[in-house]
Each structure stands twice: as C-alpha cells, then as structure tokens.
Amino acid sequence: MANASGFFTPSVPRLRSKIQPSIGVSRSGFCFSGGISRRVVCSSAIEGAEKHVSPSESRMPKLVRKGCKLVGCGSAVPSLSVSNDDLSKIVDTSDEWISVRTGIRNRRVMSGKESLKKLAVEAAQKALEMADFDPNDLDLILMCTSTPEDIFGSAPQIQRELGCRNSPLAYDITAACSGFVLGLISAASHIRGGGFRNVLVIGADGLSRFVDWTDRGTCILFGDAAGAVLVQACDAEEDGLLSFDLHSDGEGGRHLGAPINDNETDELLGSNGSALDFPPKKSSYSCIQMNGKEVFRFAVRCVPQSIESALEKAGLVSGNVDWLLLHQANQRIIDAVATRLDFPQEKVISNLANYGNTSAASIPLALDEAVRSGKVKPGHTIAAAGFGAGLTWGSAIIRWG
C-alpha cells in the first residue's frame, strides 16, 4: 500500500525555493533531476508536428506562483438517457431494487456519433467559457480517463480539437474513479513546482463500453460523461487547494477491474524457446468485473479516513467546510461517509440519481451542476474525494473560485 499526502504550506515553499532555479520548461515539457536541469527538446520527423515549435517560442521558466485556484468548470453528457425501467427489460432487475440499493434512477449512454473525445472537448470549452479564457493560453491539458478512444491516450487530440495554437503539453492520467482528484493534485503540482500557469483538468469516462449488459450486478451502475475544470496559478493568499491525501492499494485491486483477456501467451513459447504460435493474437479487455460488497466496504472505510486526514492537514473540521462532494458511486456510500464525518444532508452534493457512476467524470460533473445552479459560490470550501479501481482513493480540500 502506498500513500501520499500533502498540503503546500509551509513545507513546499522551502522545497520550491531550492528547485526553482533548476527547472527548465520548454514547449515539450520540463525535466528535473538531481538539481540539474535538462531541457527536453521535441524533435519529430512527422510532418506538421513541429509547426508550432520554434526555439524562440520555447516556454521559458516562469515565476513560480505559490497558489492555484479553480476558475471555471464545464460538463457534457450523452443525449441517450437509460432509466432503471429500461434496464429491467434487458436484465432481471427493477427500478425499486436499483434505486433503493444505489440511489441511481437514470444514466446517460453514448450512442450514434457521440464520442468520449467530443464530450471532453464540450466540457472543456464550457469550462474555458466560464472563465472567459482563451484556449491559446493553456499550458497543460490533463485528460483523466480509463477509457480513452485510443490506447495511447486522448489528451493531445483534445488539444487539437480545442484549437490551441500554442500546443500546450497534453497527456492522460489513468486512475479510474479517483482520476479527477489525481488530476487536480497533478495540476497543482505542475503549477507550484513546474512553472505552469493555466492547466485544464478533464475527467471523462465511457464505461458503458466496458460493461457486460447481461450482468445485473454491474450494468445498472455506470454511465458516460465528461467534466472539466480550469486551474490557474495565483498568489498564495488566493490558494484554492488547501490540502490533499492520496492512496493506492494494488492488493485490493482484485475486487474491481477490467483486465486484458488472456491471449494465451504461455502457448506462444515452445520448451526449446522457439515460437509455437506466432504472431500473438490481438488483445482485448474483459468487461468490468466487480465484487460490489468488497468495494462498498473499502469505500465506507477508507474515504472518511482520507477526508479526515486532508481536513486535519488544512486545519479544518467538517463544520468549517461548505460542501461534501464524493465520487458518485452509490448513494448509500455517500450517506455513510457523510454520517461518519458529520456532514448534514443539505451540505452533500449528489447528482447520482440522474447519471449513475460516471467514473472520472463524476466529481467535475457534479461540481459543474452545483456551481451553475448557484449552490456552490465563490469562496465556498469543498471536501472532495474519489475512490475506485486500482484500488486508488484520495481527497482534496478545495476552495471554489
């Protein structure tokens, strides 16, 4: 089991003052090793890949700002809505069973020409619009997803679709339902330690593509969506990420996964080392396999501990926090965590009934709805926590706006 936890004052400013001079940031990235900075230069033989990159344009080290704040959010969901009654026509279930056991009533499922990339771009554009921000000024795009439409990741394609002329660095983060919280902390780390100023964090997943629609134990839970947040460098007094707490446990990973199907690699090799059956068969992933009870137990045990730890590092108690915003997996998990942490029902954000579990999208989707409806106002503090496959889990105490 591994964990990482942090809050950025007062320890990080000391660290930052040590590393700041040795960080070199170029168009293609930054590299820091043993106090010696090395410029990472992008060279490519692919036509067009170099068109935005010229040495004079290279991103130079910038003043490292001590804070980062969330200044815009957006979300997008597919148009097809699938109700519990719809599901009861394809598996042996009922609206009553699903809503009582999970709190879910509807979920959105990608269909026709919809794609995860399009949803992610739409959510990103809305977040940029809210912040009145030009995509050309982005430094970094983090696409948090476990279901990219290209095995090598989607972030650079989203960069292209957003029309960012300055080619910000863009890469994917795979951490299932904890992906968005991980993305947020990564954005903050890039801003505080790497000289990046404007980071777009997208959480998007299309788990409907990896669900066994004949398995009533899992197909009732998941939906597709995308959400995005723009994170910006700011002065320490305005800091919007007050603390965080992150964990992973590969041992518990057996309870939830969608592993690659066995491609019979053992049979490829003969006893004398020669190839028996070459080339290997094309790989594919299995559908989501989950031990629901174990995942439930893990969530109600580990999530409150993580939030308590993050609150303590921020010097807060739940009474000081305006909102509890958990990964939207099961209303019973949300209620159990809220009760354990003494959050009254009216301080709990939940839109699970309408969308089901949208994995990395669930937190930014719920945040976006809460901000746009006027529930979450500038200056409000939010205890956010993600948890899921890996196992991974973590929390962040954030201030909106």
Q: Is 177 a catalytic residue?
A: yes
* Distance from C-alpha of 205 to C-alpha of 232, rounded to nearest angstrom: 24
Q: Which two tokens stand for residue 129?
A: 């619009």
Closer residue to ligand ACO, CB minimum distance, 69 or 247: 247
Is 327 a catalytic site residue? yes
Please report how close the Cβ of residue 182 comes to ligand ACO at its closest, in angstroms: 12
| Buried-exposed string 247-259: b where 16+ CB fall within 10 A, e elsewhere | bbbeebeebbbbe
CA distance 92 to 70: 43
From 190, 247, 255, 327, the catalytic residue: 327
Minimum distance from residue 249 beta carbon to ligand ACO (Å): 13
User: Structure tokens of 311?
Assistant: 């609150």
Closer to ligand ACO by Cβ: residue 139 or 205? 205
Partners of 24 in the β-ladder: 31
Catalytic residue among 198, 330, 351, 357: 357
Provide the minimum distance between the beta carbon of 299 and ligand ACO in the complex, in angstroms, as a whole number. Answer: 6
DSSP E strands: which ranges in 261-336? 289-290, 323-326
- CB within 8 A of 189, min separation 6: which ones? none
Query: Cβ(197)–Cβ(139) under 8 Å?
Result: yes
According to DSSP, residue 153 is labeled -
Query: For residues 23 and 287, which CB has a smaller minimum distance to ligand ACO in the complex?
Result: 287
CA dist., res. 269 & res. 132, Å (int): 58
127 vs 176, beta carbon nearer ligand ACO? 176
Binding site for ligand ACO (CB under 6 A): 93, 97-98, 101-102, 176-177, 216-217, 220, 256, 292-293, 295-296, 299, 329-330, 333, 357, 359, 388-389
Give the nearest distance from C-beta 295 to ligand ACO in angstroms. Answer: 4
Point out the catalytic residue in the list 68, 144, 164, 177: 177
**Minimum CB distance to ligand ACO smaller for 76 or for 295:** 295
Quote the CA–CA distance of 111 and 224 in Å, as a whole number.
10
52 catalytic, yes or no?
no
Minimum distance, C-beta of residue 77 to ligand ACO, in the bound complex (Å): 17
Paired residues of 200 in beta bridges: 141, 230
Strands 381-388 and 323-326: parallel
State the CB neighbour count (10 A cutoff) for residue 335: 16
- Pick the closer one to ligand ACO by CB: 26 or 248: 248
> Annotated catalytic sites, by residue?
177, 327, 357
